[in-house]
Amino acid sequence: MSITEAARGRAAALAAFVTVVSVCAGDAIARSFPFGPRTRAVNDLGNQFVPYHARLWDLLHGRADGGVLVNWQSGYGTSFLPDVGTYVSSPFALLVGLFPRDEIDLAVYVITLLKTAVAAAAMSVLLLALRRAGGDAPWWAAGVLGASYALCGWAVTEAVYNPMWMDGLIAFPLLCLVGEWARTGRRRVLGPLVVALAWTANFYTAYMATLGAALVLLLRLLTADGPAPVRERLGALLRAAGTTVLGIGLAAPLLAVVFMGSRHAYPGWTREFAPSDWPDVFARALPATYSFFTPAGFVGAGTLVLAGSLVFHRAAPRRERWAWTLLAVAVAVSMQWGPTHLVWHVFATPNGSPYRQTFVLAGVLVITAWVSLSYGWPGRRALLGGTAVVALLSAGAATSPRITSWTYPLVVAGVAATAGAVLL
C-alpha cells in the first residue's frame, strides 16, 4: 500500500469513527432512541420511512402481500415500484433484512448512522484527492474535516429524520471525485458507475449533489496550476458531462418509473418560496440553533475559521483564495434567491424545508477550509481574518430569535480551541 492509500484509509477511518461516536454521544445525552425513552419515529420518519423499510423487510423475507409492483398492504393496493425508487432504493436499505422484524426502528437508525459515517469517510478521501502536489495538510486534518461535513447542522437536525437524504450527503463528495477523475482522464469506467449508484440511491439529493459537484469542477478548472490550454479544459468538461449522462442513463430504468409515478400521483400542496431573514441564516451557521425552515449550515466553529482564513492566507494564490471564498458566498446566496432556489429543487418549491440543498454549502465550506490548510497552517494574519469572519456572522445573527444561551459560549470556545491548536 502506498503512502497516499494508507493516508486515505487512516483519514476515512478517523472521520467515520469521530462521526459515529459524536452522533451516538449526542443521542445518548438527549436520551433519544436507542439510548433512551425519547422516540425518533416522528412525522414522516414514523409515518412513512420506517413503514417503507418494514415493507422492504417483508419483501426480502418473502412475507409480503404482493410484490415490488403492487403493495396490497396500503389501502386497496397501490403501485409500490415508485415508492421503492423514491424511498428504499439505496443499497444501505437492504441492510434492514439483517434485523428482526420487530426492530425496524433500530434498523433504520443503524442504517442512518452508517450513511453518516460513509459520508464522512468519502469527504476525507475527496479532500486528500484535492491536495496539491507538495501540500502540507496532514491526513488527520482531512479526517477531522470529513467528520465536520458529516456532522453539519443539516445532517444532524434534518436529514437524520429523512434517511434517503443521507444518500445525497454521500453523493456530493463521491461526485466531486468523479469530477476529479474526469479532469485528469482517469477511471472512465468507474465514474459512470458511481454516478449511477448516486442517482439510484436517491435521485432528488443526487441532483443537488451533481449541481454542487459541477460547480466544484468548474472552479478547479479555472484555478488549475499552470497555463492549461482552453482545449484541455473543455475536454475535461466534456468528459465530466459524458460521465454524468452515461451514469444517469444507467439509472434511467428506475428514474423513469419514479418520474411516471410522480406524474400520476395525487397533486400535493403548492407553496411559494419565502427566503429566511438573513439574521436567521447567519444564526444557523452557529451552534445550538434550530428552525426547520432555515438553512442548517453549521459545520463547526473550527471549520468556519479555517474557511474564512483562506482569503487572508498569503501562501495561497490570490486567484484560488478569492475563487473558493466567492463560491461559498454564491452558494449561500443562491439558497435565498427564488430563481436559484427553484434550480436547486428541480424547479418546484418543496413542502417542508425549503433548504434541502444545504449539504452542498457545508461541503463547499469544508473544501474551502481544506484548501486553506493545503497551503500550510494559517499564520496570525489569516487566523485573525478567519476569526473576524466568524465574529461578523455572530454579530449578524445577534437579532435572530434562533440564538440560544448556548450559542455564543460555544462559538467562543470553538474559535479559541481552533486558534490555540493552529498556533501550537
DSSP letter string, 185-203: T--TTHHHHHHHHHHHH-H
What is the rounded average pLDDT for all residues in the chain? 92
Above 90 in pLDDT, residue 112?
A: yes
Phi-psi region of 317 (alpha: psi -120 to 50; beta: other; left: phi over 0): beta
Least confident of 79-93, 196-210, 215-229, 390-404: 215-229
CA distance 100 to 93: 14
pTM above 0.85, yes or no: yes
| pLDDT reported for residue 166 | 97
CA distances to 81, 204, 255, 265 from 259, rounded to whole Å, are 11, 11, 6, 10
According to DSSP, the residues that pair with 334 across neighbouring strands are none
Span 51-68, mean pLDDT? 89
pLDDT > 90 fraction of the chain, expressed in percent and rounded: 73
pLDDT at 226: 63
Which set of grid coordinates corresponds to residue 150? Answer: 458529516
Task: Give the CA diameter of the chain.
Answer: 68
Q: What is the DSSP letter of 48?
A: I
Ranges 200-214, 252-266, 325-339, 354-368: which has the least confidence: 252-266
The pLDDT of residue 3 is above 60: no
Residue tagged 459515517 (cell numbers): 117
- Total residues found in the chain within this entry: 424
Query: 3-state SS string over 289-348?
Result: CCCCCCCCCCCCHHHHHHHHHHHHCCCCCHHHHHHHHHHHHHHHHHCCCHHHHHHHCCCC
| More confident position, 354 or 263 | 354
Q: So what's the pLDDT on residue 297?
A: 94
- For residues 80-101, average pLDDT: 93
pLDDT, residue 42, reads 80
Residue 422: which pLDDT band, with cuts at 50, 70 and 90?
confident
Residue type, 98: L
DSSP label at residue 266:
P
The answer on pLDDT for 1 being more than 50 is no
The string of pLDDT tens digits covering residues 133-151 is: 556 688 999 999 999 999 9
**Environment class of residue 227 by beta-carbon count within 10 Å: exposed (0-12), middle (13-18) or buried (19+)?**
exposed
CB 91 within 8 Å of CB 77 = no
What is the DSSP secondary structure assignment for residue 88, as one 8-state letter? S
Residue 2 confidence class, pLDDT cut points 50, 70, 90: low
Share of the chain above pLDDT 70, in %: 96
What mean pLDDT do residues 290-311 have? 94
Tell whether the model's pLDDT for residue 311 goes beyond 90. Answer: yes
Q: Residue 7 has what pLDDT?
A: 87
Q: Is the model more confident about 163 or about 261? A: 163
Look at residue 161 and give its three-state secondary structure.
helix
pLDDT band at 227 (very low <50, low <70, confident <90, very high): low
pLDDT at res. 355:
95
